[in-house]
């Protein structure tokens, strides 16, 4: 620091420096010092005007951004590499005119993989855009009255189609209509179910249940028998970019924004999300919405 200051004094250039100061409680905190010289008409420095600011928060933000970018590039690399690989396989199959006909059946699995990786990329991109929309207060809901059970059933069918090794059962205890954004609620459900699949490496039996806790509230629960979540982490997983750290962090890929979006969406519907879980013993994610009690306007 002294050296930099001496240099500024000598050259008359603006002085700027970031450094850490040890606080009373033993923590180092980042500070920034800045000084500019005030010169007389001959150019001689007559005094320095400076300020010292604590920038610890900015530094932490910077670090979080760096980590986020690292995570983004890591996440995008997997599907992109896979798409490239399958495209090359397909291209090599197309090289020989005589082989094309013979290969046409073998092309299908590669195309399916490409398709599913593109779906994954599209989801990642729209989730990132949603985070931005929330930040700018631009996440608008298009509410309509619809049958929640039908949405749950359709969503499970779609997921069953895409994830062949998974077994999802559905139990409907009540017939319920809600006044909500159908696509957004579908997105919450997809997030809960795909998480349940992702974080259950050994047992892919997933139970989905629709039930009413009172006359005017309906809940959807997604229960898995996967790795579970510790109590401490349960309070944090709905926060933006929060991922459970430890050896699993590398094993299970993700951005840490799905549950954050889920909570934002549900709370914007005057609903709530919750989790019950025990480490090693599976998790149950539940979202609850107000029931639409105005039956005159039901549209199915």
The alpha carbon dihedral of 224, 230, 233, 234 has a sign of positive
Nearest-CB residue for ligand ADP: 254
Of the candidates 120, 178, 116, 129, the residue with the CA atom closest to the CA atom of residue 152: 178
Q: How far apart are CA 43 and CA 227, in angstroms?
A: 69
Q: In the complex, what is the shortest distance from the CB of residue 259 to ligand ADP, in angstroms, rounded to a whole number?
A: 3
Q: Facing residues of 206 across strands?
A: 168
Nearer to ligand ADP, 229 or 273 (CB): 229
Of the candidates 114, 127, 109, the residue with the CA atom closest to the CA atom of residue 81: 114
- Is residue 79 within the footprint of ligand ADP (CB under 6 A)? no
Choose the stretch contacting ligand ADP; rule: CB under 6 A; options: 40-48, 79-87, 190-198, 265-273.
Answer: 190-198
Q: In the complex, what is the shortest distance from the CB of residue 80 to ligand ADP, in angstroms, rounded to a whole number?
A: 17
Q: In the complex, what is the shortest distance from the CB of residue 20 to ligand ADP, in angstroms, rounded to a whole number?
A: 31
Nearer to ligand ADP, 179 or 187 (CB): 187
Helices (H), the chain: 2-11, 56-94, 97-135, 148-162, 182-198, 231-234, 248-251, 258-268
Between residue 92 and residue 151, which ones bind ligand ADP under the rule CB under 6 A? none
Between residue 219 and residue 278, which ones bind ligand ADP under the rule CB under 6 A? 224, 226-227, 229, 237, 242-244, 254-260
Element (H, E) at 258: helix 258-268
- For residue 177, the Cα-to-chain-centroid distance in whole angstroms is 28
- In the list 195, 219, 221, 292, the residue contacting ligand ADP (rule: CB under 6 A) is 195
- Burial of residue 22 (number of CB atoms within 10 Å: 0-12, 13-18, 19+): exposed
- Is residue 287 within the footprint of ligand ADP (CB under 6 A)? no
Token duo for residue 223: 């229960």
Q: Under the rule (CB under 6 A), what is the footprint of ligand ADP?
A: 191, 195-196, 199, 224, 226-227, 229, 237, 242-244, 254-260, 283
């Amino acid at each position: 620091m002294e050296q930099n200051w001496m240099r500024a004094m000598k050259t008359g250039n603006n002085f700027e420096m970031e450094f850490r100061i040890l606080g009373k409680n033993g923590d180092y905190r980042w500070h920034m010092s800045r000084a500019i010289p005030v010169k007389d008409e001959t150019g001689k420095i007559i005094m320095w005007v400076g300020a010292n600011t604590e920038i610890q928060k900015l530094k932490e933000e910077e670090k979080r951004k760096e980590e986020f970018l690292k995570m983004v590039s890591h996440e995008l690399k997997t599907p992109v590499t896979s798409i490239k690989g399958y495209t090359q396989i397909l291209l090599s199959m197309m090289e020989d005119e005589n082989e094309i006909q013979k290969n046409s059946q073998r092309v299908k699995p590669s195309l399916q993989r490409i398709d599913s990786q593109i779906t994954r990329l599209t989801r990642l991109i729209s989730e990132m855009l949603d985070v931005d929309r929330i930040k700018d207060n631009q996440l608008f809901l298009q509410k309509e009255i619809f049958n929640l059970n039908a949405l749950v059933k359709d969503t499970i069918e779609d997921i069953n189609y895409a994830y062949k090794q998974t077994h999802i059962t559905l139990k409907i205890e009540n017939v319920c209509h809600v006044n909500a954004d159908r696509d957004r609620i579908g997105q919450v459900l997809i997030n809960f179910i795909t998480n349940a699949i992702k974080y259950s490496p050994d047992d892919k039996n997933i139970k989905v249940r629709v039930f009413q806790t009172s006359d005017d509230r309906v809940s959807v629960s997604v229960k898995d028998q996967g790795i579970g979540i510790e109590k401490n982490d349960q309070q944090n997983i709905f926060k933006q970019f929060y991922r459970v750290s430890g050896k699993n962090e590398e094993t299970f890929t993700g951005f840490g924004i799905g549950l954050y979006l889920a909570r934002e969406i549900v709370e914007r519907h005057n609903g709530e999300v919750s989790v019950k879980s025990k480490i090693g013993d599976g998790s149950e994610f539940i979202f609850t919405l107000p029931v639409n009690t105005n039956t005159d306007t039901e549209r199915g």
